[in-house]
Structure 1
Amino acid sequence: MSAEDIPPEIAEWFDGRGWRVRRHQAEMLAASDAGKHAMLVADTGAGKTLAGFLPTLADFSPSRIGDGKPPQGLHTLYVSPLKALAHDVQRNLLTPIEEIGLDIRVETRSGDTPSDRKRRQRSRPPNVLLTTPESLHLLLSYEDSFSLFAGLKRVVVDEIHAFATQKRGDLLAVALSRLQAIAPDMQRAALSATVADPEAFRSWIAPWGDLDAVDLVTGEAGAEPQVEILLPEEERVPWGGHAATWSIPQLYERIKANNTTLIFTNTRFLAEYIFQHLWDANEDKLPIGIHHGSLSKEARRKVEGAMARGELRALVCTASLDLGVDWGDIDLVVQMGAPKGSSRLLQRIGRANHRLDQPSRALLVPGNRFEFLEATAAREAVDEGKRDGEDFRRGGLDVLAQHIMACACAAPFDEAELLSQVRSCLPYASVDQELFGRVIEFVATGGYALRAYDKFKRIVRGKDGVWRLAHPEQAHRHRMNAGIILDAEMLDVRFRNGRSLGRVEERFAASLRPGDTFQFAGVNVEVEQLKDMELIVRGSSKAAMIPSYGGLRMPLTTHLADRVRAMLTDRAGWARFPDDVREWLEVQDWRSKLPGPDNLLVESFPHAGREYIVFYTFVGWNANQSLGMLVTKRMEDMGLMPGAFVANDYSLAVWGLKPVEDPAPLLSPDILTDEFIDWVQDSHLLRRAFREVAVIGGLVERQHPGKRKSGRQVTFSTDLIYDVLRKYEPDHVLIEAAWADARANMTDIGRLGDLLDTAAEKLDHVVLDRVSPLAVPVMVMIGRESVPQGAQDDELLLEAETLAGAAMRVDGVAEV
């Protein structure tokens, strides 16, 4: 499509702003005009969102409408992974609509949307609705969903890489299949800047996996990003710790030197922690804000608005602002700690400038020496244009159960017809009649072991063979409890006057007593009382702790881990490292060995009256935690008297009372068969996984009219059911779903299997007389597993220097 094919009023708007219609934007319109679905992969700042909406703007353009009326009703759905992204898109989409003069009404719908507006949107929908997968799922559960979506022309899925490979993607995939059945001519468009395998995502967006129906559009190349790694000016790169608080004085100077700086952290705890340190250093009283998912809606909206108006000099945030937010005045993006993946880093870098023809500037701030190596690997991957990402896997059976229930809430359904819909999307393409029947049976009765209880009967099959709700009340109960995102149970934090600050985890709140103080949203507060599901607080001037949060840690990608391992053995490349990092590796190479891409290094040594063994795995924290459990169990069986273990992304350290003379038997592949199964079944992992799938699948309800179950009550309920099913129905679909989650998410079984294969082929065991330099970062974590990251950095660094003194000395003489 040439520029002449763009509606003239849209072309004039581009000209008036001094812009040109980019090739990929024209190609997205051409695909739509040809009746095709489309997948756009383009750099951040390339105008992806406008490209996705261009066909919608064209459909409402007077030059195309002629004497007819503009399209009526819901025309376009825009689905994003973040509420903040939807609100940002609304702000930026309204500008061209208003300036071109198009008759288009745009609204957002999410968990933050008032209930009266949600009701009105169903009866009098906007032309463009910006929403999330969860809100779309709820819309599809209403009887009027068929009329609401009957005229739907287009669905735009933004930042598809952020959730397509996860359960939120499963939910969206079956929702798209449902929409396609309601509106057969509906077109799909997917947008992303950071997919490693565009063809895989193209298959995901295609109905029935029909690649010929989806045009793959690639964007014009943009300016190369400028990525810098911050190093201490006078001190050395730290041995341990993750918070990188050493950087605060230097970081504050960077904030002063730029108009607006966006500072990313990997956890909510670190966001609060870094914000407080910056505020303590803020002698100039610069406007600095904080943003994360536990803050109240009002607090988040206030900060987002201030950023959009250019009123903040810096904003500390988490992944809550990872994706697509277009604040063009950001000069610099800072990543505190390791980025954990090149695609994630590239996505965050793109928040700076957000223009295709101007380079984005980013600053990486490593917390320790391994994080420096990881930051270097990530920077080089970005320079080379290399991406990483997650593999696609079979859709979750708990998500499928939730979808089946939503369909029943909307209308009675025919089982064969619904199966056909479900199989038209990639995550559930392999579901056969037998498996689908088992999931239907679970939704209908709870399963064989639970069918005697009426509370689990949600749908029934009539004499006509059609499934319908067992009772109309089930629809309301489903809508109250539907959802995929299952954070730990949260309590509202409020002042006595009712003003909300946000939410903290129930586990943290349970540890508090009246008079205790904690820091939240940059404010010190004192606990007055814990009432129902609310924590009543007042302002305080006393020193305060920072709330800790649970949940899985952000995993180190395999791609980045492989790059770090390659760097360790590239001795010629060490010249580009700071002196202390280079010397660290040189002494490690002299005293022991270095792990490489094709071997597993294992070191054993005595320290402080104990025998230690350290495995340099580079498989991420989750996998190392699982390996630690399995290895200590096997050491116990072998009489090696293990004590405990500690893990980070790069290594696993285990101590015991007897030395390990041969680590090979600890790492034989059979450890992932019987021992793994026994361990998972007897540990909290499977119970935790079952708890989540039971809630997602609708077996256990968190919400009741006027009441919400506490996390402890949900745990008690799910544990009881889990014990019953383990004993009487071990092949229950939710047990199967829990096993899939435990393997994939909580143990990272795939990476463990690859590690054990490497160990079988080439295991290098080095016996030392003292701690090695490479072991220091993990050794300083011994005894600190339960301490929130960043909470005791000073103590960590002191201990690291003590260990480093032993690691870097030989025969009483300092090596470096």
Structure 2
Amino acid sequence: MAILPHIFTDWFASKGWSIHPHQQDMLDRADDPALLLIAPTGGGKTLAGFLPTLADLTQNDHAGMHTLYISPLKALAADIKRNLRTPVEEMGIDIRIEDRTGDTSQTQKKRQRADPPHILLTTPESLALLTSYEDAPRMFAGLKRVIVDEIHALAESKRGDQMFLALSRLQALRPDLKRVGLSATVEDPAAIAHLLAKHPDPCDILHADPGPPPDIKMLVTDEPPPWSGSGGKYAIPAVLEEVKKHKTTLIFHNTRAQAELYFHNIWLANEDQLPIGIHHGSLDRQQREKVEQAMVDGHLKAIVCTGTLDLGIDWGDVDLIIQVGAPKNVKRLVQRIGRANHRYNAPSKALLVPANRFEVVECVAALDAVHAGALDGDPRGPGPRDVLCQHILIRACAGPFDAGALFNEISTTGAYTSLSRAEFDACLDFCATGGYALRAYDQWKRLQQRPDGQWQLRDPRSALRIRMNIGTIQDTDTVKVRWKGRGGKPLGEIEEGFAATLTQGDTFLIGGQIVRYDSLREMTVQVTRDAAKKPKIATFLGTKFATSTQLSHRIIEMFQQDSWPALPPHTSDWLTLQREVSRLPEPGRLLIESFPHDNRIHTAVYGFAGRNAMQTLGLLLTKRMEETGLNPLGFLATDYATLIWGLDKITDPAPLFDIDALRNGLDTWLAGNAVMKRTFRASATIAGLIERNLPSNRKTGRQATFSSDILYDTLAKYDPDHLMLQITRQEAMRGLVDFGRIEEMCARIGTRIDLIEHSRVTPLAAPLMLEVGRVPIKGLAEEKLLAEEAERLMTTAGLPPEPKKKEWRVPF
């Protein structure tokens, strides 16, 4: 057993603490090449990761950087710096601890490269930038350890791919480098360990005592949730009562827009003038820092927030978490729950607030999963090649390189261990020439091969431009909507992701008007008037997150119960009536309901494949219906179902779900709309084909889109097998359209499709009907109209009117 220096044991004793078993284990195994620690929030996992570093620096002289700490968030790096400096200063240890993020001054960055601190705290983007400099070997000359905090969050994104590639570069510079991963929520530890290790070296996994289960419940409200919507406004009085009872409450939302709207509404209802702040990634840095400091100082009773506060930041006396809206992902929920009572062996306390009736079911399913310790997560597949292209350019900035040596480096990286030499060479050729169709243009000839076989930048001055565009985070833009024609009047903005799904002739709703999509030009959607009574594609203000596969399966399993004591009466009565008049979705089968309404035939497909997949399914099914002589008029999609309305009944649904036909339809559809162009722009920006940041200024979204559209059209016409088009198709399939979830659904159901015809709206379909053609009228009129429509539809579906107030409790 490794002995902790007396200065540490004395400091622990002065605090009345003792070293935790997993912290001792990390100290004992400091020489392991790679180690993954899974410890509960508040279990001291960050200190466990740093203990070997601190012990070594206390006992031995060390010149230069000893340990590199990588965090997904700038705020987390700053928080760790503050928390780490406290014990170091109290023990009087002479250790320099600094952070380096986008917020660090240029003066400090230059000094850090010349004279690195003992411990540097940074982010994936800043690390990639550091490896791009010619003096990187000198800066990392003394590096012994790398600590990756909240590794699960990085492993799920391209930021993680970029970071692991950067680690392969560090490992080449420092062959004896030790890797440590830290996390509280890992659904597949072996998969994370595979990413963390230098292949084929092993990475062992340490599990700390998980501690007591969280205290998590559904919030009890006098007013039941509405049948549709995603704001959770109905629960604000109950939320304010909970805020009053606790020291500090974090009120999580799934999107920034929802957080802003909720903050506005809760502030209007805040008659007691409780100090409440808001925190999300779109806020100005100074405003975020002001809120963070107020949290640390205990001056805020509540903070309305998003994922910016998901991770391991220890803010003040947070003793309650409220999640507004279904969490969509159990792992994300567990991570957020851990923000409360950030202490070892202290249960976290959280309340869930379902935004609508269907989300009540999802929230209870999520509660079941948390209590069962069942986390969710989908495999990501091989490492993305657009990130690999950027890494090759970053490596070239640092000086000449041998292609074989670089390939061998990259092949040690978990997500890229299956990369073939031919795939690597294709990426290298792209970086050198731009590909076949672009070889004639000097601006994309960025690399050249020297007589000795090594590769280098063709123009050393291009290193500045490459460095300015390092990163994988893409802006989540909105696009403006205008009437077609020069000087067309603006109508507002829609999410770019929604705009990308539109094809010419589609109608949708904006500002209370139904409009027809004509084209997408330079970040502006051009539309014309349409006299239809309902839009072809209806959208709703929901989360961008899709309900995970595992959580969707758990909801369907829940439907198989004889009764639902965990559900409030209004929701269990709803499901009971559905079972009486029709049936509920079953595992391994697909339920489809058909019924007339407003002189149209409506068909509800309960696929439970997540929002993106159900949206794609709606597009493909309506296309298939048109091809077979049926006359669909429009559709909408939620996480759980796709609702299609049209003139004709579907009598035999099986041919519509033929996976080969759906795949062929997807190919045709992708070629005819903006999904591919949007995906191309994101991947081309990461790969370095398109530059968002220039030495003189930053390109606007419009300029980037304009240039990417020209490039896409050029490549599609003259070089359809171009590497960037291959990458684009792969990314589109698993991103915006989520076709993998449709394939999983089709494989799960096979030919087991149940089509049930009804004479009226069914209870399960009734909430979907409220979303059709929903007009965004502002103010109390909207709430009154929606309430009246909900009551009319539910009466039609056979549900009795609800009392105005109805208390309920769940047995958790």
Common topology (TM > 0.5) = yes
User: Any conservation in 2 of the 1:85–1:324 contact (CA below 8 Å)?
Assistant: yes
Match of 1:135 among 126, 136, 148: 126
For residue 340 of structure 1, report the CA deviation from its aligned partner. Answer: 0.8
* Structure 1 residues 64-463: aligned runs within 5 Å: 64-65=59-60, 70-211=61-202, 214-233=203-222, 235-327=223-315, 329-463=317-451
The C-alpha deviation readout for 1:669-720, integer Å capped at 9, x for no partner, is 1233321211122222111111101100000111212222211111111111
The alpha-carbon distance between structure 1 residues 677 and 581, as it changes in their structure 2 partners (threshold 3 A), is same
Aligned to 1:8: 6
Unaligned runs of 5+ in 2: 494-522, 524-538, 801-805, 807-812
- Aligned residue for 1:773, secondary structure, equals coil
* Structure 1 residues 483-502: aligned runs within 5 Å: 483-489=471-477
- Aligned residue for 1:612, secondary structure, equals strand
For residue 800 of structure 1, report the CA deviation from its aligned partner. Answer: 2.4
The whole-number CA distance in structure 1 between the counterparts of 2:278 and 2:464 is 36
- Aligned residue for 1:270, secondary structure, equals helix
Aligned to 2:792: 802
The alpha-carbon distance between structure 1 residues 791 and 225, as it changes in their structure 2 partners (threshold 3 A), is farther
User: Any conservation in 1 of the 2:763–2:799 contact (CA below 8 Å)?
Assistant: no
* Structure 1 residues 508-657: aligned runs within 5 Å: 553-572=544-563, 574-657=564-647
The whole-number CA distance in structure 2 between the counterparts of 1:117 and 1:507 is 40
Aligned to 1:45: 42
Aligned to 2:21: 23
For residue 112 of structure 1, report the CA deviation from its aligned partner. Answer: 2.0
User: Any conservation in 2 of the 1:702–1:708 contact (CA below 8 Å)?
Assistant: yes
For residue 165 of structure 1, report the CA deviation from its aligned partner. Answer: 3.1
Aligned amino acid, residue 39 of structure 1: L
The whole-number CA distance in structure 1 between the counterparts of 2:9 and 2:771 is 59
The alpha-carbon distance between structure 1 residues 134 and 226, as it changes in their structure 2 partners (threshold 3 A), is same
The C-alpha deviation readout for 1:701-752, integer Å capped at 9, x for no partner, is 1121222221111111111111111122222111111111111111222211
The whole-number CA distance in structure 2 between the counterparts of 1:219 and 1:712 is 50
The whole-number CA distance in structure 2 between the counterparts of 1:787 and 1:121 is 55
User: Any conservation in 1 of the 2:230–2:542 contact (CA below 8 Å)?
Assistant: no
The alpha-carbon distance between structure 1 residues 404 and 796, as it changes in their structure 2 partners (threshold 3 A), is farther
The whole-number CA distance in structure 2 between the counterparts of 1:281 and 1:786 is 22
Question: TM-score, normalized by length of structure 1?
Answer: 0.89
The whole-number CA distance in structure 2 between the counterparts of 1:389 and 1:808 is 38
The whole-number CA distance in structure 1 between the counterparts of 2:385 and 2:776 is 33
Aligned residues: 753
For residue 785 of structure 1, report the CA deviation from its aligned partner. Answer: 9.5
Aligned amino acid, residue 20 of structure 2: R
The alpha-carbon distance between structure 1 residues 423 and 119, as it changes in their structure 2 partners (threshold 3 A), is same
| CA RMSD of superposed structures (Å) | 2.6
The alpha-carbon distance between structure 1 residues 444 and 419, as it changes in their structure 2 partners (threshold 3 A), is same
For residue 666 of structure 1, report the CA deviation from its aligned partner. Answer: 1.3
The whole-number CA distance in structure 1 between the counterparts of 2:336 and 2:7 is 34
Is residue 751 of structure 1 aligned with residue 749 of structure 2?
Answer: no
The alpha-carbon distance between structure 1 residues 99 and 785, as it changes in their structure 2 partners (threshold 3 A), is farther
User: Any conservation in 1 of the 2:255–2:543 contact (CA below 8 Å)?
Assistant: no
- Aligned residue for 1:774, secondary structure, equals coil
The alpha-carbon distance between structure 1 residues 342 and 512, as it changes in their structure 2 partners (threshold 3 A), is farther
The whole-number CA distance in structure 2 between the counterparts of 1:714 and 1:125 is 36
The alpha-carbon distance between structure 1 residues 111 and 784, as it changes in their structure 2 partners (threshold 3 A), is farther
Aligned to 2:767: 777
User: Any conservation in 2 of the 1:223–1:356 contact (CA below 8 Å)?
Assistant: no
The whole-number CA distance in structure 2 between the counterparts of 1:598 and 1:250 is 39
The alpha-carbon distance between structure 1 residues 550 and 743, as it changes in their structure 2 partners (threshold 3 A), is farther
- Aligned residue for 1:331, secondary structure, equals strand
For residue 658 of structure 1, report the CA deviation from its aligned partner. Answer: 1.4
For residue 512 of structure 1, report the CA deviation from its aligned partner. Answer: 13
The whole-number CA distance in structure 2 between the counterparts of 1:476 and 1:794 is 57
User: Any conservation in 1 of the 2:229–2:540 contact (CA below 8 Å)?
Assistant: no
User: Any conservation in 2 of the 1:81–1:159 contact (CA below 8 Å)?
Assistant: yes
For residue 237 of structure 1, report the CA deviation from its aligned partner. Answer: 3.0
User: Any conservation in 1 of the 2:42–2:344 contact (CA below 8 Å)?
Assistant: yes
Higher deviation after alignment, 388-397 or 443-452: 388-397
The whole-number CA distance in structure 2 between the counterparts of 1:566 and 1:645 is 27
User: Any conservation in 2 of the 1:339–1:375 contact (CA below 8 Å)?
Assistant: yes
Aligned to 1:521: none
The whole-number CA distance in structure 2 between the counterparts of 1:153 and 1:791 is 64
The alpha-carbon distance between structure 1 residues 786 and 481, as it changes in their structure 2 partners (threshold 3 A), is farther
- Aligned residue for 2:570, secondary structure, equals helix
Aligned to 1:724: 714
Is residue 692 of structure 1 aligned with residue 682 of structure 2?
Answer: yes
For residue 397 of structure 1, report the CA deviation from its aligned partner. Answer: 0.8
For residue 447 of structure 1, report the CA deviation from its aligned partner. Answer: 0.3
The whole-number CA distance in structure 2 between the counterparts of 1:697 and 1:550 is 32
For residue 456 of structure 1, report the CA deviation from its aligned partner. Answer: 0.7
The whole-number CA distance in structure 1 between the counterparts of 2:422 and 2:34 is 32
Aligned to 2:729: 739
Aligned amino acid, residue 208 of structure 2: G
The alpha-carbon distance between structure 1 residues 276 and 182, as it changes in their structure 2 partners (threshold 3 A), is same
The whole-number CA distance in structure 2 between the counterparts of 1:311 and 1:357 is 26
Aligned amino acid, residue 387 of structure 2: V
The alpha-carbon distance between structure 1 residues 787 and 225, as it changes in their structure 2 partners (threshold 3 A), is farther
Aligned to 2:653: 663
Question: TM-score, normalized by length of structure 2?
Answer: 0.89
The whole-number CA distance in structure 1 between the counterparts of 2:11 and 2:575 is 57
Aligned amino acid, residue 23 of structure 1: P
The whole-number CA distance in structure 1 between the counterparts of 2:372 and 2:244 is 31
Aligned amino acid, residue 205 of structure 1: L
Aligned to 1:60: 57
The C-alpha deviation readout for 1:345-389, integer Å capped at 9, x for no partner, is 110000001112211100100011111111111111111111112
The whole-number CA distance in structure 1 between the counterparts of 2:195 and 2:44 is 23
For residue 341 of structure 1, report the CA deviation from its aligned partner. Answer: 1.4
Aligned amino acid, residue 562 of structure 1: H
User: Any conservation in 2 of the 1:287–1:313 contact (CA below 8 Å)?
Assistant: yes
Aligned amino acid, residue 238 of structure 1: P
Aligned amino acid, residue 6 of structure 1: L
- Aligned residue for 2:326, secondary structure, equals coil
The whole-number CA distance in structure 1 between the counterparts of 2:257 and 2:470 is 28
Higher deviation after alignment, 41-50 or 551-560: 551-560
The alpha-carbon distance between structure 1 residues 248 and 187, as it changes in their structure 2 partners (threshold 3 A), is same
Paired-residue identity, %: 47
Unaligned runs of 5+ in 1: 490-504, 518-532, 534-547, 811-815
User: Any conservation in 2 of the 1:161–1:192 contact (CA below 8 Å)?
Assistant: yes
Aligned to 1:703: 693
User: Any conservation in 2 of the 1:328–1:355 contact (CA below 8 Å)?
Assistant: no
User: Any conservation in 1 of the 2:33–2:176 contact (CA below 8 Å)?
Assistant: no
